[in-house]
Amino acid sequence: MRVFELYARRILKRKLTLILIIVLPVLFTYSVVAQYESATKLTVAAYIEDPTLENYLTGMLEKQDVTVTNAEMEEDAIHHDADVGIVLTTSAKDVFAKPDALSAAFYSEGGSYNASSLEIKLNSIFSVMKTLAHNSADEAAFEANLLKAEQSAAPIQVKQSVIGNPNAVVLTSAFNMIVFIMLFLTMTNTMLFLGDKIHTTTQRVLLSTYSRLSYYLQTVGVFAAIGIAQFLLMILLMSTVFQIDLTLSIGQLLLLVAAYGLLNVIAAGIGLLLVSRTTRLSTGRLLISVVSLPLAMLGGTLWDTSIMPGGMQKLAKLLPTGWITQLNKEVFSGFAGNTALITTHMVYLFVCAAVLFGLLSRVRTENI
C-alpha cells in the first residue's frame, strides 16, 4: 500500500486540487437544485390599472400556485424576469360595458413550457371574467361577482399524485453532473504522473512494487477513494442541506457507490493511458480535454441523451458515462427499476475497467 499512501498524500497536499474536490460537488449540486426549483415555479409580472381587476387576477392565479409580482409601471411588466408579463389597462367598468372587447397583452421570451402553461391559465381566468360580466345585472354586481370568484374555492378539487419519485428529475440531473465533475477532475489529476514520468520518479516508485499491475491498482485506487468521498458528500448535501428525500435503499446506495468508484477507476485508467503517450504537459492537457469532454457530453451528463440525434444516442450506449447516467435514471426513478439493465451496465463498467488495466499492464516501463 506504499504507492497508494504516497499518491494520496501528493494529491491531497495540492491545495487547488483539494479545494476543487470539495467545492465542485457543492457548487454544481446547488446550481442544479436551484435550476430545477426555478424551472418548476410559475411566475407572472402583472401591470393592472384597475384595483378590482388586479385583486381578481392575483387571487385566481395564486389559487393555481402561481407567484404574482405587481409591476409599478407598464414597462416593468413588458421587460420582466418572470415567465409571463401581463398588461391590462381596461377598467372593471369598461369590461362590464363591453365584455367581448376585453383585451390583455401577454409578454414572454422564448416561448417556454411555463409560458405556454400560464397562457392557458390566464385565458381561462379572463374567460370567467367575461362570463361574469355578461351575467351580472349591473357594474356593482359584476364587481361583487369578481370578489366572490376570487375568494371562493375552486368548484372542482384536483389532487395531484406523482407516480414514482417526485424528485427524480433533480436527483438524476445532480448526479449526472457529478459524473462530469469526477470524470474531468480525475483525468486532470492524472497529469501529475506526467511530471513523475519526465523526471523518472515513476521508474523509482515501480521498484518498490511487485508488478506494474500492483502499481496501477494502488494508483487508481486513490482516485476511486476520492470519487466515493465526493459521492458521499453529494448524498449528504442532498439529504441535509437541500432537504430532498433520496428514497434510496441500502442496496441502491451500495450500487451507486460501486458504480461511481468504477467510474473513477475508468477515468484514471484513461488518463494514465494518455499520460503514457506523451512527455509534454501541454499535449497531455489537450488530450485530456479532447477525450473527457466528448465522453461527458455524449454520455448524457450535461443533457439528457433523449434530445440527441439517433446516432449519438446509439453511441452513448457504448460509453461508460452513458452507463452511469442510465443507472442514475433507473435508481432515482422511484420504481423497482430494470434489474437486467442495471446488471448489464454494472457488468459493462467492470469489463471496461478490466480492459483498461489490461492495456495499462502492457505499457512499457519507460512510458509509465
Q: Are residues 143 and 271 in the same domain?
A: no
Q: Are residues 210 and 295 in the same domain?
A: yes
Residue 55 lies in a domain: yes
Report yes or no on 266 lying in a domain. yes
Residue where one domain finishes, among candidates 123, 151, 179: 151
pTM: 0.74
The grid coordinates listed for 89 are: 389597462
* 174 shares a domain with 70: no
Domain of 194 in residue numbering reads as 2-36+166-362
CATH value at residue 76:
3.40.190
| pLDDT-based confidence at residue 319 (cuts at 50, 70, 90) | very high
Average pLDDT over residues 226-249: 82
Q: Same domain, yes or no, for 191 and 292? A: yes
Residues 134 and 238 in one domain: no
pLDDT value at residue 49? 92
User: How far is Cα 36 from Cα 81, in angstroms, rounded to an integer?
Assistant: 16
Contact between 238 and 28 (Cβ < 8 Å) = no
How many structural domains does the chain have?
2
Mean pLDDT of 10-24: 76
Residues 55-101: pLDDT tens digits?
999 989 988 888 899 888 899 888 888 889 999 999 999 999 999 88
Domain contains 172: yes
Residues 251 and 319 in one domain: yes
The pLDDT tens digits of the residues spanning 170-205 come to 888 888 888 888 888 888 878 777 766 665 666 566
- 181 and 304 part of one domain: yes
In a domain, 158, yes or no: no
325, 185: one domain = yes
Residue type, 138: D
- What confidence score (pLDDT) does residue 5 get? 76
How far apart (Å, rounded) are the C-alpha atoms in residues 173 and 77? 32
Identify whether residues 6 and 51 lie together within a single domain. Answer: no
The pLDDT, as a whole number, for residue 280 is 81
Structural domain includes residue 132: yes
The widest CA-to-CA distance across the chain, in whole angstroms, is 98
107 and 28 in one domain?
no
For the chain, report the end-to-end CA distance as a whole number of angstroms.
Answer: 19
- Chosen domain end from 151, 184, 201: 151
**DSSP H/E element including 46:** strand 42-48
Report the pLDDT value the prediction gives residue 288, as an integer from 0 to 100: 87
- Same domain as 267, residue 228: yes
29 occurs within a structural domain: yes
Mean per-residue pLDDT, 224-249: 82
Q: Which residues pair with 70 in a beta bridge?
A: 46
Give domain status of residue 139, yes or no: yes
Asked whether residue 321 is assigned to any structural domain, the reply reads yes
79 and 224 assigned to the same domain:
no
CB atoms within 10 A of CB 172: 22
Alpha-helical runs (H) found in 190-298: 192-198, 201-206, 212-236, 250-275, 281-298
